[in-house]
Amino acid sequence: MLESTTTVTVKKGRSLHPRRMEIISCLFRPMDIVLVFILLYNLSAPYILFAETGRERLTIAYAAVNPTVLPLWIAAEKGFFDGEGLDVQFVYIRNSPTMLSAIVSGDIQAAYTGGTAVLSAAARGLDLQIVAGIRSRLAYDIVSRPEIKNPADLRGKVFGVQALGGTVWMGAVLGLEYLGLDPVRDNVKLIPFGDQTILAQALEARRIDATVLDKPSSTELKRKGFVFLAELSKADLPFAGTGLTFRRSFIQRRAEAVRRAMWALVRANAFIFFPPNKTDVVEIIARKLGVQNRAVAVSTYDAGLQMINQRPYPSIRGLENIQRLLGRLNPDIAKVSVETVVDMTFMDELEKSGFIDKAMRTGGKVP
C-alpha cells in the first residue's frame, strides 16, 4: 500500500515533499522560508524556457557582489555557458541560510557560496559538495576608522561582520588572528550588521570601528581617510571562500550538466587571467560593481587576480582552517570529514585532459 502524503505548493506545477519541508523547518528561520517560497514562485518561468531552448537548465544562486563573482559574469557575458549547452540563470540571495533552503528544495541547483556555509550544512546532514574553489585564501582588507592606527587599538572596539559563523565572520576571526588578536581575550566585539555594502556604510557612519571588506569597497574608504590595518591577500592564509557547490544527489543524477558548468567556469577564469582581455574585464567590473572611477576599477581587477584561483580546486586546507574555528561554536562541525564535502572529480578530469592548460593559453577559447 502506498503511503499517503500531503504537499505544500510553492509555485505553478511544483510542490515540496513533506520531507523537504521537515528539513527546511529544522534548519532555517520562518522568514527565510517565506523568502525562499517567494523566490521559487518567481522562478517558475525558467522551467518553461528549458523546454523551449533545448538546453540544460541550471539556476545558480550567489550571496555577495564582489570580484569573486567575476567568473560567473564572464561565463555568462562571453557565452561560455551557452557554448557548453547550458541555459543558466543567476539569483542573488543575500544570506547563505536562505540560499541553502532553496537548494534543499531543489529549485536552485547550485550555490556560489563559501566553505563556512557548506560545512555548517554538512553538520546538519545536507549532502553538499564543492566542485570548484574560486577563492582559497583570504583576500579581505581589514579597514578601521581613521583614529585607529594599529591593531592594538582594536581592543574593546566593535568589529562589524555579516553573520556570526558566516564567511565574513570567519575572515574577521582569521584576520584578527593574523594581527595577533583574539576576540575573547582582547574584547573585540564581533557584531552582525549586514553584507559588505551595509558594513562599509556602517563604518563610514562610525557605527562600527572596523570590519573586513573586499575591493572596491575597501579602496573607496581608504580614499576617504580610513585605515588599512592589513591586506590579507598578502598574508597567504588558507581559506575556502567562494566556490561552486551542488548537492551530491544532483551531481549523481546530472553529472554532465555539472561537467559543462565546470568547462564554462574554467574558460571564464582563463579569460580573466589572459592579459589581452584586461580592458574588457575592467569594463565588466566597473559595470557590474557600479564603479565609476577607472583607477578603482583597475585596482579591483588587480585584486581579483589575487582572489581568484586560476585552477579552481576546492581547498582542503582552507576547509580545515574554517572547521578549526567553527568547531568551537558547533561541535557537530568538528565531526565532519572535510573530504566528504568536496568532489575533485571534475577538476581532475579537466587537469588530466589538458583542458585547463589549453584554456589558459588561449584566454578561454577552447572548442
- Report the DSSP pairing between strands 86-92 and 141-144: unpaired
In angstroms, the CA 42 to CA 36 distance is: 10
Identify the CA nearest to 105 among candidates 23, 218, 197, 171.
23
Residue ranges of the domains in the chain? 8-137+240-362, 141-234
> DSSP secondary structure string, 14-61?
EEE-HHHHHHHHHHS-HHHHHHHHHHHHHTHHHHHHHHHH-SEEEEEE
Q: What is the grid cell recorded at 257?
A: 550538466
Q: Do domains 8-137+240-362 and 141-234 have the same CATH topology?
A: yes
pLDDT of residue 77: 95
Nearest to 314 by CA among 263, 248, 238: 238
Beta strands 14-16 and 128-133, pairing class: unpaired
Architecture of domain 141-234: 3-Layer(aba) Sandwich (3.40)
Given this model, what pLDDT does residue 44 score? 41
> In the CATH scheme, what is the code of domain 8-137+240-362?
3.40.190.10
- CA distance between the termini of the chain: 52
Mean pLDDT of successive 10-residue segments in the chain (367 residues)?
A: 30 39 40 43 41 77 90 96 95 85 90 91 94 92 96 97 86 94 96 92 97 91 95 90 94 96 97 97 94 90 90 95 91 95 97 96 87
Q: What angle do CA 288, 259, 280 make, to 5 degrees?
A: 25
- Closest-CA residue to 65 (of 209, 198, 223): 198
Q: What is the pLDDT of residue 23?
A: 38
Rg (CA), the chain: 21
Instruction: Specify the long-range contacts of residues 183-187, CB closer than 8 Å, at least 24 apart.
Output: 183/159, 186/154, 186/155, 186/156, 187/155, 187/156
Backbone angles phi, psi at 91, to 5 degrees: -130, 125
The SS3 assignment for 186 reads: coil
Angle subtended at Cα 331 by Cα 323 and Cα 135, rounded to the nearest 5 degrees: 15
Q: What is the pLDDT of residue 107?
A: 83
Sheet (strand 210-213) strand order: 189-192, 158-161, 210-213, 141-144, 227-231
Q: What does the pLDDT read at residue 13?
A: 36
- Helix extents (H) in 245-338: 248-253, 255-273, 278-289, 294-307, 316-329, 331-334
